[in-house]
Amino acid sequence: MMGLLVDDKIIVRGAIVNFVAPGGAALAAVVFTVPLGLVGVKSVKIYRVNIYNNAPAGNTQVLIGNGVGGAFAALLPALDTFNGLNSAYGPETDLIQAESFANITAYAAVIAAGGTIDVQLEVEIRG
């Protein structure tokens, strides 16, 4: 696992996950996997969320939490994303300090035909 040390924090960037279709919480995908060695030992705090709305995905919202389907529990309020633009949420935008002890999942509320949404998280390893 590679990370960036900033002010005694270890920041780890997750993979870019592409959503091609809406599906609600039932189709939530893992956007950050907590390494097995850290489960039950350390937590992760969402540090930054990068969302790229590939045209013509349409203006929509991305929901980030834990679990899928009926077990989905939001960690953050819905994040707005706009057609053809990058939306960056982080410390400079007063992103809520959400902490997780499990894999973090996400889904796009709506995606227009032919569009996709890319989501990437950066997390701070805690504990």
Q: In which domain, by residue range, is 50 found?
A: 4-126
User: What's the rounded Cα separation, in Å, for the pair 112 and 115?
Assistant: 6
Give 23's pLDDT tier (boundaries 50, 70, 90).
confident
State the pTM of this model. 0.88
Work out the pLDDT band at 35, boundaries 50, 70, 90.
confident
Token pair for 83: 């057609």
Per the listing, tokens 């902490």 go with 99
5 pLDDT above the threshold of 60: no
**CATH classification of the domain holding 25:** 2.60.120
Total number of domains constituting the chain: 1
pLDDT band at 6 (very low <50, low <70, confident <90, very high): low
Contact 55, 117 (CB under 8 A): no
Measured distance between the N- and C-terminal CA atoms of the chain, rounded to whole angstroms: 16
Beta strands in the chain (DSSP E): 4-6, 9-13, 17-19, 29-32, 43-54, 60-66, 73-74, 79-81, 86-89, 99-100, 104-108, 116-126
Does pLDDT of 1 surpass 60?
no
Name the average pLDDT for the chain: 89
Of 51, 45, 77, 44, the C-alpha closest to 63 is 77
Could you read off the pLDDT of 84-98 as tens digits, one per residue?
Answer: 999 999 988 889 989
How high is the pLDDT of residue 108?
93
